[in-house]
Structures are given as structure tokens and as C-alpha cells.
Structure 1
């Protein structure tokens, strides 16, 4: 039997479904990056016209919400009865969200400046709020914390995916050489620390950013960050 020319070509044409569109779009982003994704370019991959996609998604942003939902759907949320300190509960959710988004380069870009509407992202934000409010934070602090923590997640996910897409190690070596060649009189610290500055991976920096935010929140909070000792 002759092999089909594409996923939706010839007699082997696969019926178009919402799931197929989402899965194909995630593969598209992983291969080409988020900036290359348009309804037209996705339709070409699916061997259909853009109008067929609008049957399932009213616009690109509606599609992006579905992609974010798919990317984050497996992020594990701790049990509501978890007795770990709130500072410990927040970090794994944030880090798992970062790595889930980072698998699809630039996907977090579609979340910038928007009210979260993807179901999985709402589920994660609800978990953050539950943890913070249950631990005694006032509502305004909890809401601001969730907003900023989501921003940290998006930024760090984009950093990781960009690093991996652009040959990050080579860019680090290039950056290290640039710093090392700086005038030590004008830039004594940057030139001296050029090698050390490039040792942390994007994932290391993401964890540092999340932990630093949580530590800062704890330092400015009147709620306990750890269980009281007997």
C-alpha cells in the first residue's frame, strides 16, 4: 500500500478534530517555535484551509489557550490536606509548570499580558491561591503573588526553550569570551567573573528565581513559613 503523502493527504486523510489540531500545533511549535505559528501555516501542515480551523477555534488566541491547557494539564497539584509549609508547596508546582511550557518553545509568549483563561493554568492559579490563603496570607497579597509567580514561570520557560533552540552552550561560550575581553579597569567584576557567570544552566536560574520570589514573599509575610516546633 502506498504511504500517504502527509498526515491528511490522499485516501489516508485523517478526520480533523480539536485534539488533532492541538497536537499538531504543539509539534509545530516544538519544531519551528511559537513565532512561526499562524492559522494559515498550521492549516498547511494539516492539509486543510484556515477556515476549517475556525470551526474549532474562533481565533489564534483561542487556539493558544488550548495549547497552554494541553502543555500544563499534567502539572501535579499537591493534595489540599498537605501539611507541608506553604513555601515548600509552591516551588514544585512552579518548576513543573516551567519545564512543561519550555518543551514547546515560546508558548509562554502567548500568555504574556493576558488574563489567564486556559483551564490548566486556572487550575494552577487556584492551587497557588488555596495554598497562600490557607496559610494566612491576605487576599490582596495572595492575588499579587499568583500574578507575579505566573510571570516568573512564563519568563523562565521562555528562557529555557530559547536556550535549547539556539544552541545555548555555544552562546554561553561566546558570552563568556565577550566578558573576559572587557577592560578590567572599567569592568573589574564582569571580566573577572566571566567564567563563573556562565556556569548556571537556565533550569538552575529558573529554580533560583522561583525560590528567591518565594523567600521574598515569606520575608515580607506575617504567616509562618514552616511548621512550628514542639
Structure 2
């Protein structure tokens, strides 16, 4: 009941038929983030794509300038010196067949999965488990690599993966409600820029169609798409 009242009060604080600049929306989102924890600020973007076509898939990684404020758990499939390198870089779970057995048993204690190339025959057998969770390592995303230290460090530093869902919508956390407005603006525009640069060749018409900003427990606020561009007027 308290959550419903809080959400109703949030919707009453702005005009739901209006679109807001990024600066205005951030102030509204932060003002409505009244949960007892530091809520995540989340953005959703509707893209003019059809992800059912291979040439219109949008996916990538970006290191947000100010991090996400979230502690990401990183799992690494590696052996020998590379396993030691992963642990030294701060990986939470490292292993080979032993880690695969844990995953098969439903014990998935990581939010990002990295693997060295020689481990992909083993990891590939876990595709039906890791794939639907968006955890399958991918060379194009830099999560299949010999640079284990760099990949783990980037993930821990606030790297965000973005991926269009079936309806062509991308959801991503861009920071915490406790972040300064300027830091949230910088993060959001960096993400929007990365998504814009990832525009597939098969996409026709308007690419970035709609966007909305919210906190974990707060209402969604419609954004003026033009205000997402780097260098846009405040």
C-alpha cells in the first residue's frame, strides 16, 4: 500500500503527457526516489529496429564515465596463469570444469561472464543456461579475451552492457539517485552516444524514437530525445 501511494504521489508530481529535457527529468526522478535504499536510475530507449533480423541487432558495452554505483559480480572461465590473473584483478568466481558444474547446478554467482578463448568449447555447452540470462561470453563484446585483467577491471569499474530486446527496447541502469545531476547526465549521454554509434545498417527511418527515465521504485518520465545528445542544451 505504501508503495502504491508513493507511486501515485510520484505521478502527481509531473505532467504525464509532456516530454522533459534530461536535466528536468533527472530532478523529477531524484525527487521521487523515496525508497529506503539508494535507488538505481534507469533509462529505457525505443529504437526503430526489428531485432528479429540479424542485421538490426543492437548490442554493446560501454564504460560509463562515472560508473554505475553498483557492485558487479564477475565470473571468469580460465585456467592456470589466466585464472590467477582474473583473481588478482578482482573476479568473484574463477574456474573451469568446476565452475561449469556449478552453473549447470543453477549456482550462478555472477552478473558478467568472461572467458579465455580456449575455454569456449566448455562454456559453449552452457549456452542454454547462460544465453537466456544475457551472460554468454562474446568476442565482439570483449568478454572472450586473453586480456582477462582488462576485462575484469572494466566490468568492475562500471561497464554497462546494452542489448535490444524483442520489441527493440533497451533498458540500462545509469547510476544511483544519490549521484550528482551532472554525473547522471554525463553517464546517460555517454550511453545514448554508444547506442547511436551502434546503429545497424539495416535500420531505416528514425532510430532513437522514444526514451524514458525512472528510478527503481519511481514512475517513468518521458524524455525529449534531442536532449540525450552530447553537447545538447541544458
Q: The TM-score by the shorter chain falls in which range?
A: under 0.3
Structure whose alpha-carbon radius of gyration is higher: 1
Point out the structure with the larger helix share.
1
Under a length normalisation based on structure 2, what TM-score does the superposition of the two structures give? 0.27
Compare relative contact order (CA 8 Å, sep 6+) and give the higher one, 1 or 2.
Answer: 2
- More strand by proportion, 1 or 2? 2
